[in-house]
Amino acid sequence: MTIVDLRSDTITHPTPAMRRAMAEAEVGDDVFGEDPTVRRLEEMAAERLGKEAGLFVASGTMGNLVSLLAQCGRGDEVIVGDQAHTYMYEQGGMAALGGIHPRVLKNRPDGTLDLDEIVAAIRDPNNPHFPRTRLITVENTHNRCGGTALTVAYMQALGALAREHGLLLHVDGARIFNAAVALGVTERALVADADSVTFCLSKGLAAPVGSVVCGSRAFIAEARRARKVVGGGMRQAGVIAAAGIVALEQMVERLADDHANARALAAGLAELKGIQVEAVPVRTNIVYFNIVRPDMNATQLTARLAEQGVRMLPVGPRRIRAVTNYHVTAEQITRALAVLRAILA
Ligand SMILES: *Cc1c(COP(=O)(O)O)cnc(C)c1O
């Protein structure tokens, strides 16, 4: 029985081209700035995102953390969505390690933050009672808001707001390439207004390890220092960066296949009794749905699915997440739906 693994796009294994590139990678000590493969990946990433410089980091969490550490001091405040990965899933690293105070606004269902609410949340810098508002962070695509994509128009409006109020803008773009492909725009256009961006190589792009942070040369120099203090200075990291180069060269356009598979999955789920699919403005590779029958909850349903080789992630009492990825074919989506139909019958 082949397993249909829809738990996450992080379960992807490196492609044969990545394995070859890793085996043959030219390497050096990257803490001395001497790993040519890491430098090439950083330059490629910066070029693609329209930024001056890039920094290879171990994970998306590290990328977000060093971006905030580089731009905010103790007691500074960051405006962040209540559904954001940086707020929900990173152990409160900005506060725990940076002394940075999160100012949490409610994410709207489309993953955005309301611009008027942001303005209302900005502190008076002359009042000594308040922390100083320093930075706004948004997520694109937005995982917990159904994998939906924030548009170029929204990012431009947000950028204008940030500039007007003298604030920095960070984009947690773990899946920025999914957003670009789904919207039919360049990733560069999506982050043009951002001072800093993190994206993951190890999700839909199928590299085994790593993320890249991009921004101005001065920002990256600070982020590089921050990476060292959190233990992220890696030595012959070209071995893993090589897979990241292949990811950028070969794995971006095919994300459209993952999106088509997710649309097919959502359409099939919508026809099943007892299932409610969560709608999104822009479908990427993530589908959330709810099991609404009284005799079965999310844990029970995903356990039944797993017995038949279909893996999905329960993320609430009734809420389940399915994420299409490089290893999931259109036929497997059909099979997953057939298994689900049989369980619910
Ligand atoms: C996965 C993810 C991260 C963190 O990435 P890791 O590499 O798992 O640390 C950050 N933000 C978002 C939106 C993510 O989905």
Q: Tell me if 174 CB under 6 Å of ligand 1.
A: yes
Q: Tell me if 90 CB under 6 Å of ligand 1.
A: no
Instruction: Give the per-residue pLDDT at 54.
Output: 98
Q: How far is CA 328 from the centre of its chain?
A: 19
Instruction: Give the per-residue pLDDT at 10.
Output: 97
Residue 330: φ, ψ to 5°: -60, -40
* DSSP summary character for residue 15: P
Task: Output b/e per residue, 82-97; b: 16+ Cβ within 10 A.
Answer: ebbbbbeebeebbeeb
Q: What region, left, alpha or beta, does residue 150 occupy, with left being phi > 0 and alpha being psi -120 to 50 degrees?
A: beta
Ligand 1 atom at minimal distance to the Cα of residue 202:
7
Question: 287 C-alpha to center of ligand 1: Å?
Answer: 17
Residue ranges and CATH numbers for the domains of the chain are 4-10+254-344 (3.90.1150.10), 16-250 (3.40.640.10)
Mutate which of 7, 56, 59, 88 for ligand 1? The one with the most ligand atoms within 8 Å of its CB, which is: 59
Side-by-side strand order, sheet with 319-323: 275-277, 286-291, 319-323, 313-314
Spell out, as residue ranges, where the chain has pLDDT lower than 50. Answer: none
Q: Take atom 10 of ligand 1 and give the residue whose Cα is closest.
A: 60
In the chain, % of residues over pLDDT 90: 99
Distance CA 267, CA 273 (A): 13
Q: Tell me if 59 CB under 6 Å of ligand 1.
A: yes
Distance CA 294, CA 289 (A): 15
Whose CA is closest to 137, among 231, 204, 63?
A: 63
The string of pLDDT tens digits covering residues 197-219 is 999 999 999 999 999 999 999 99
For β-strands 310-311 and 4-5, DSSP reports them as parallel
Question: 324 C-alpha to center of ligand 1: Å?
Answer: 16
Give the amino acid at 5.
D
Beta strands in the chain (DSSP E): 4-5, 53-57, 76-81, 101-105, 132-139, 168-172, 196-200, 211-215, 275-277, 286-291, 310-311, 313-314, 319-323
Write out the two tokens for 321.
Answer: 């997440």
Instruction: Give the per-residue pLDDT at 213.
Output: 98
Write out the two tokens for 319.
Answer: 């809420």
Question: 254 C-alpha to center of ligand 1: Å?
Answer: 20
Whole-model pTM?
0.97
Instruction: Give the per-residue pLDDT at 1.
Output: 72
Ligand 1 atom at minimal distance to the Cα of residue 64:
10
Helix pair 176-183, 255-270: axis angle to 10 deg: 80
DSSP, collapsed to helix, strand or coil, labels residue 52 as coil
Instruction: Give the per-residue pLDDT at 94.
Output: 98
